[in-house]
Amino acid sequence: MGKLTSSSLGYPRIGANREWKKALEAFWAGKLEEAAFLEELKAIRLHHLQKQQEKGIDLIPVGDFSFYDHILDTASMLGLVPARFGYEGGIVPVSTYYAMARGNKEASACEMTKWFNTNYHYIVPELNGLSPVLTQNRPLEAYREAKQELGIEGKPVLVGLFTFLKLSKGYEPAQLDELIGQYLPLYEQIVRELAQEGVQWVQIDEPILVTSLEPEDVQRIRRIYEALHAVAPELNMMLQTYFESVESYEEIVRLPVQGVGLDFAHGAKRNLEAIEKHGFPEDKVLGAGVIDGRNIWRADLSASLDLLNRLSAAVPFERMIVQPSSSLLHVPVTTAPETALDPVLSAALAYADEKLDEVVLLARAIREGADAVQAELDASVQAVAALNASASRSNVKVREAAANIESQPSTRHSAFAERRVRQQERFRLPFLPTTTIGSFPQTPEVRSARQKWRKGEWNDSQYEAFVKNEIRTWMDLQEEIGLDVLVHGEFERTDMVEFFGEKLAGFAFTKNGWVQSYGSRCVKPPVIYGDVAFIEPMTVKESVYAQSLTAKPVKGMLTGPVTILNWSFVRNDISREQVAYQIALALREEVEALEAAGIEMIQVDEPAIREGLPLKQSETEYYLDWAVLAFRLSTSTVKDTTQIHTHMCYCEFHDMIESIRALDADVISIETSRSHGELIHSFEEFTYDKGIGLGVYDIHSPRVPEVGEMVSMINRALEVLDPSLFWINPDCGLKTRGLTETVASLRHMTEATRQVREERKEGATV
């Protein structure tokens, strides 16, 4: 290995123009035959490898590309297909693979949840006593393809066994050692075959090692890697961690592997301290993740170079690989299309391609000396400094308010019990009130209208008339379906965060900054680059119009401060906590504007609180404290009769119940349909004493659930929750669903509610 090798940990799947997304959706829609689909994905995959090759990356990852999700890939490679999908062995068919991800008419999809503290979703493997078998060696196939097609001596990527098992469900903690014994022979076969093929390096991703580990977990990790080393001693294994500093540093770096990859962007302080205190083994290579793989900001390359030089005191450059801190899956592909942004902002951005350029440039600076690339180093320093000095980061009023947050109101006037009585009198809702989470299908017509407006083909009046018509249509549909609390449908909105960011100071929007959220679902996160401030009302007009069409209550719909934070690319010159407070104070003005306009149910969604949880347990309480405070800053100034709702995605409820209570929302809805049983179990152990709705069907699947399924889910929840506080709703917004399935599912939901009301013969009002 030469002096300071460059590498990457993974590349975005979606393509610069979302070619991957378009291919998947064409295949699912029956517009692309399977053979043509597979060829198209191969072409995309090889193009991504070739781009990295042309940029000069020395060690290119292969096998990071996926048809949907890398954890689902691993599960299917190990033959872990739940019985409900009718799998009969062998290589998992493409149809079965996608049925696990999306569900089908016969079977519900596997659970989906967030990948550590990111906004990427993975498919949760269901072990449930299944006997694993190696159906195909995916890393080996990827290695062979890259070598044969492009002459690339690639670095196969494999999800580590310990991480895979810890992220799976369907077993008791006491079974973990038994499962390791069951699965380890398959991993041994994978690495043995890689070694026999002549693979030089394999990247084994174990991000679970940055979370809080038990002492016995370290012993389990050692057992795994001693076994893998024993069967393939000549194979160089890079044990790769990311997203934080590694736990149990001394034990991890002594494992029988040839390299250890550490994150020096998000775990820099502790990883650096560990190396400087304990050293780094002389027989190992350090994967130095000095370029931030999760955010879009250009690096101050002089500072990055200083960090590499500091590391070299413990690890000589000959035993170091410079790389991003994590896979570049979490950032867009290239800044090339971003010509419309303010030049100061644009110059400070770096997407995947630019981050690879930064990696190569750092490697060159070490190999040839900093003087050889001084102009590039200076340009990076100047770009970062110019943004920090810009007027967008100098709003004194906003800065002072966020810095003195303890002086801001953050408590409702009355306790929930008192508010509940007044809200009952105000709204007179029936037993088990029904509602939706907020959005309705964004049909091709809706998307087309928005595009015409954005391109100037429609003026504001034409577009507003279209949106009003959509609102009217869906208000009528909701009345006809029989829902009790209505929503306007959010037809004027693209993304639930982008919409608000476009109307607040301190945000910018990219032309092509798409990233994968789950499957083919791509999002274009806003860029929080400056101080955040309220400008003018953002949602009042549509909400008031919808309320004018019905006597039933209409919820105002906002995205909460922590979700806006966690679903954006966030400035890195001040703390995330301070940014959250800035957003919260801006949203409070919108909440007050809605209330003043007569909207007295206001939903402030926080589906992303969980993904912001620190990966270290020791930091969880502090994060939850400021996240709860940010929500309460947004919602605490309203009258007692104004009902505050929120929505959250499934989280380890028992770990967060005190914080969820502390939000002090009058009603919370929780996305639970793929993990309903687990959450119900949490309520058997912990009580919840405010209004709550557990999602009674999965909106991520096109499948229309039967009425009986929903009746069972409702009744199961009512065994452990106060029926007088229970709401009925889908588990998330309906934006991505089709019209027919949405109406059918909501009809089934209201019919299920009617049946449960009849069965329980409760009173007319709560």
pLDDT tens sequence across 608-631: 888 888 999 899 999 999 999 999
pTM, 2 dp: 0.89
Question: How far is the C-alpha of 417 from the C-alpha of 432, rounded, in Å?
Answer: 18
Residues 6+ apart with CB under 8 A from 14: 20, 21, 333, 514, 515, 516, 522
DSSP 8-state secondary structure symbol assigned to residue 723: G
State the pLDDT at residue 528.
Answer: 98
CB distance 292 to 325 below 8 Å: yes
Helix (H) or strand (E) holding 368: helix 352-368
What b/e sequence results for 564-591 when a residue is b if at least 16 CB atoms lie within 10 Å of its CB, and e otherwise?
A: bbbbbbbbeeeebbbbbbbbbbbbbbbb
State the pLDDT at residue 692.
Answer: 92
- Does residue 764 carry a pLDDT above 50? no
Q: Give pLDDT tens digits for 442-456.
A: 999 999 999 999 999
Maximal CA-CA distance, the chain: 81
State the pLDDT at residue 369.
Answer: 95
Torsion sign, CA atoms 765, 482, 551, 593: positive
State the pLDDT at residue 2.
Answer: 44
- HSE-CB at 87 with a 13 A cutoff on CA atoms is 28
Report helix, strand or coil for 529: strand
Across the range 592-601, mean pLDDT stands at 98
Report helix, strand or coil for 575: coil
Angle in degrees, CA 471, 473, 479, rounded to 5: 100
Name the least confident of 399-408, 435-444, 512-521, 692-701.
692-701
Q: List the alpha helices (DSSP H) in 171-256.
A: 176-197, 215-231, 249-252
Written as one letter, the residue type at 431 is F
State the pLDDT at residue 674.
Answer: 54
18 annotated as belonging to a binding site for a ligand: yes
Residues 6+ apart with CB under 8 A from 384: 297, 298, 299, 300, 348
The residue among 173, 191, 159 whose CA lies nearest residue 80 is: 159
Q: Give pLDDT tens digits for 453-489.
A: 999 999 999 999 999 999 999 999 999 999 999 999 9
DSSP 8-state secondary structure symbol assigned to residue 504: E
CB distance 49 to 60 below 8 Å: yes
Where do you find CATH 3.20.20.210 in the chain?
Answer: 5-390, 417-760
In the block, which residue shows the tokens 């736990």? 247
114 annotated as belonging to a binding site for a ligand: yes
- The number of helices, as runs of H, and strands, as runs of E, in the chain is 27, 21
145 annotated as belonging to a binding site for a ligand: no
Report helix, strand or coil for 44: helix
Name the least confident of 90-99, 136-145, 755-764.
755-764
Written as one letter, the residue type at 624 is L
- Characterize the bridge pairing of strands 726-729 and 691-695: parallel
Residue ranges with strand state E in 241-328: 259-263, 285-291, 320-324
Q: Give pLDDT tens digits for 183-203.
A: 999 999 999 999 999 999 999
- Does residue 364 carry a pLDDT above 50? yes
Q: Does domain 5-390 have CATH number 3.40.920.10?
A: no
CB distance 521 to 547 below 8 Å: no
297 annotated as belonging to a binding site for a ligand: no
Helix (H) or strand (E) holding 205: strand 201-205
Residues 6+ apart with CB under 8 A from 81: 75, 87, 92, 96, 100, 130
48 CB neighbour count, 10 Å cutoff: 24
Across the range 237-247, mean pLDDT stands at 97
CA 315 and chain centroid, separation: 34
Q: How many residues are given for the chain?
A: 766
Residue ranges with strand state E in 636-725: 643-649, 667-671, 691-695
33 annotated as belonging to a binding site for a ligand: no
- Which token pair is 488? 């306007």
519 annotated as belonging to a binding site for a ligand: no
19 annotated as belonging to a binding site for a ligand: yes
Residues 6+ apart with CB under 8 A from 487: 435, 436, 437, 438, 439, 440, 478, 546, 554, 555, 557
Question: How far is the C-alpha of 270 from the C-alpha of 703, rounded, in Å?
Answer: 46
- HSE-CB at 372 with a 13 A cutoff on CA atoms is 10
Report helix, strand or coil for 235: coil
Question: How far is the C-alpha of 691 from the C-alpha of 236, rounded, in Å?
Answer: 55
CB distance 26 to 19 below 8 Å: no
Q: What is the Rg, in whole angstroms, of the alpha carbon atoms belonging to the chain?
A: 26
CB distance 390 to 525 below 8 Å: no
Question: How far is the C-alpha of 338 from the C-alpha of 342, rounded, in Å?
Answer: 9
Question: How far is the C-alpha of 60 from the C-alpha of 9, rounded, in Å?
Answer: 8
What b/e sequence results for 358-388 when a residue is b if at least 16 CB atoms lie within 10 Å of its CB, and e otherwise?
A: bbbbbbbbbeeebeebeebbeebeebbeebe
CATH number assigned to the domain covering 417-760: 3.20.20.210
Question: How far is the C-alpha of 656 from the C-alpha of 606, rounded, in Å?
Answer: 13
- Mean pLDDT across the chain: 94
Name the least confident of 55-69, 142-156, 476-490, 657-671.
657-671
CB distance 122 to 112 below 8 Å: yes
Question: How far is the C-alpha of 490 from the C-alpha of 511, rounded, in Å?
Answer: 22
490 annotated as belonging to a binding site for a ligand: yes
Distances (CA, A) of 288 to 162, 577, 624: 22, 27, 30
CB distance 555 to 601 below 8 Å: yes
Among residues 121, 330, 700, 748, which one is catalytic? Answer: 700
State the pLDDT at residue 531.
Answer: 97
651 annotated as belonging to a binding site for a ligand: no
Question: How far is the C-alpha of 527 from the C-alpha of 494, rounded, in Å?
Answer: 15
Report helix, strand or coil for 528: strand
438 annotated as belonging to a binding site for a ligand: yes
Q: List the alpha helices (DSSP H) in 8-105.
A: 19-28, 34-55, 70-77, 94-102
Active site annotation includes 700:
yes
CB distance 631 to 562 below 8 Å: yes
Q: Where on the phi/psi map is residue 321: left (φ > 0), alpha (ψ -120 to 50), or beta?
A: beta
Residue 763 pLDDT grade (very low, low, confident, very high; cuts 50, 70, 90): very low
Q: Give pLDDT tens digits for 323-351.
A: 999 999 999 999 999 999 999 999 999 99
Residues 6+ apart with CB under 8 A from 378: 302
State the pLDDT at residue 495.
Answer: 79
- Does residue 694 carry a pLDDT above 90? no
In the block, which residue shows the tokens 């991504």? 48
149 annotated as belonging to a binding site for a ligand: no
Question: How far is the C-alpha of 199 from the C-alpha of 461, rounded, in Å?
Answer: 62
Across the range 78-104, mean pLDDT stands at 97
CB distance 204 to 160 below 8 Å: yes
Question: How far is the C-alpha of 220 from the C-alpha of 242, rounded, in Å?
Answer: 19
Distances (CA, A) of 620 to 105, 627, 655: 40, 10, 10
